[in-house]
Structure 1
Amino acid sequence: MARFLVDGNMPAGTAPVLRSLGHDASDVRELAMSNSDDDEIFRLCHAEARTIVTRDRDFGELVIGQPSHPGVVLLRVGGLRSAAIIDRLVEALTSLGEPPISYSGRIVVIERTRVRIRTA
């Protein structure tokens, strides 16, 4: 089980789907943080040891050079509809294995046809 924080630019159904798969997932909308800036959201990720799930490339830049961070799952899937974005996320996370990899210190980039894992 992984601990995720779903960013506001992800489809609203993302956190419930992740929870249905056994993950501990919160959504910034559920926490009344929809209008929070990236730094504030990332501080919460650090405080709660949650990996951010986002479509915002800025989170990848926030972690570069940081010796430790709870991880970033960055979706770069273009103009897919909400259901297809969630499906691609689930497919990619499932492909990473069970139990899931440790996301700590990593940037997982999910594209339409591949998944890349980088160490920040």
Structure 2
Amino acid sequence: MTDPLLHSEVRASSAVAFAIGYVISVALMVAALVVTMRHALGRIDLVVVTSLLALLTLITQAVFMFRLNLSQSDRWKVVSLVLALPLFVLMLGLTGWMFHTLYLRTMLPGTMGH
């Protein structure tokens, strides 16, 4: 039986990198919260800035916490991420569409206020 501590994924882990990734991720999420709570931007700009901050948070977590890189040994991680991203984007888009049309789909005909 092999020692699990000898695996390359375990040996590449670092508490310092994890802590740096955690601090940067929290800072980016707090920035998104502040921009959203202060209504500092217009509607479209707010969506764009919040989306960019979320993307930066995901990249930060992938690099610092999950140690995602393009090395030969970690190629399967990149492939799984590439295959999961379209599903994630589809889920976000369909959720946005669902909530955007929720009022029209739940009100009885003739009782809509507009």
Please report the TM-score for the alignment, with normalisation by the length of structure 2: 0.28
Structure with the bigger percentage of strand: 1
Please report the TM-score for the alignment, with normalisation by the length of structure 1: 0.27
Q: Which structure: larger Rg?
A: 2
